[in-house]
Amino acid sequence: MKAVVFEEHGGPDILNYTDILNSEPKSFEFLIEVKAAGANFNDIWARRGMPGMKVVFPHVAGSDVAGVVRAIGSEVGGTGFGSSPVRVGDEVVVHPGISCRTCDMCTSGQEFFCRQFLIWGFQTGPNDGGHSELVTMPAVNVLPKPANLTFEEAASMPLVLETAWRMLVTRARIQAGENVLIWGGVGGLGVMAIQICRMFGANPIPVVGGAAKVAKAQELGATDVIDRTSEDVAGRVREITRKVGADIVFEHSGQDTWPTSMAALRWGGRLVVCGASTGFEAVTDLRFLWNKQQNLLGSHLASKAELAAALRAVEAGHIKPVIDHVFPLRDVSKAQQLMEDLKVQGKLVYVP
């Protein structure tokens, strides 16, 4: 089978579209023919290397796939142990949180706290990510594909959808009427965050770079869009919120934007963070944190149940996929270059 493989850290040129051994499902797994795979910044972190994280080589990246079940392991099916409503021939998507499924955390629906938790296609391996023609996946991680989406649309959603959903719905407990500052407003996470805000009756305030991205954010229903290339972000938030500040700040940028995020956050507000693409050494002035009684919330992926809830919102039409471009799988390096140059609105998708 074809896959995009790398065996060391480096730039996009180390990605090799090549033949690897076919995946075989273990007893508790499905074999899925990949019809489309999503691109995420995790793919780039794995390729570049990330301090403190071990990448297993040879590595096939990719944490989002949509496809068709081609085979099932011996323990999957029926009504007993390992039972799953999914059958051979079904169209599916995957929840990329891999965990033991037996510990206290897993059985309480908090698999992200499992001591064995890994993001599939990012921290797993060798050779088992989604940028491939076939993948194997524990049956418990497989969900039916929303019927109203194409394979390309479905592959563009789960990781960013469930991450943004947990951040806003579960962690920050978004409420109608709240103002939500969203960094990377038309990136993969941002386009989900804008739509979740609108679904809950909150006001998204996406921050974007340049006129084309302002237009894209407006197209998604945001009325208060901030262009960081020409506007002062904290100043604009004060204007939009009548000097109150944002109720929620949606952070995944980190070091470069953190001081602005804290300045734009209202007294008693919630800042929720799921990543730090510009760097990890963010500075917080603690005087303001205690005086303003602000809340800092970490968030990491989501549970399978949170993905299922978010997919119901997708099937109901509240949240739509936003795809910038579909590439053949052999062009992953070209696509990653576009992502690193911040030239993408929404998501990139690969088709084997």
Binding site for Zn ion (CB under 5 A): 99-100, 103, 106, 114
Q: Which residues pair with 59 in a beta bridge?
A: 6
Question: What is the nearest approach in angstroms of Zn ion to the Cβ of residue 78?
Answer: 24
Question: What is the nearest approach in angstroms of Zn ion to the Cβ of residue 65?
Answer: 23
Distance CA 351, CA 328 (A): 5
By beta-carbon proximity to Zn ion, the closer residue of 139 and 180 is 139
By beta-carbon proximity to Zn ion, the closer residue of 83 and 107 is 107
Question: What is the nearest approach in angstroms of Zn ion to the Cβ of residue 98?
Answer: 10
Distance CA 349, CA 1 (A): 19
By beta-carbon proximity to Zn ion, the closer residue of 114 and 181 is 114
Question: What is the nearest approach in angstroms of Zn ion to the Cβ of residue 111?
Answer: 6
CA count, 13 A, side-chain hemisphere, 34: 31
Single-letter amino acid, residue 10: G
Nearest residue to Zn ion, using CB? 114
By beta-carbon proximity to Zn ion, the closer residue of 100 and 316 is 100
By beta-carbon proximity to Zn ion, the closer residue of 26 and 320 is 26
By beta-carbon proximity to Zn ion, the closer residue of 22 and 107 is 107
Distance CA 67, CA 89 (A): 9
Question: What is the nearest approach in angstroms of Zn ion to the Cβ of residue 240?
Answer: 42
B/e letters for 203-229, b = 16+ CB within 10 Å, e = fewer, are bbbbbbeeeebbebbeebebebbbbbe
Question: What is the nearest approach in angstroms of Zn ion to the Cβ of residue 112?
Answer: 10
Who contacts 275 (Cβ-Cβ below 8 Å, separation ≥6)?
41, 252, 253, 254
Question: What is the nearest approach in angstroms of Zn ion to the Cβ of residue 99?
Answer: 4
By beta-carbon proximity to Zn ion, the closer residue of 137 and 160 is 137
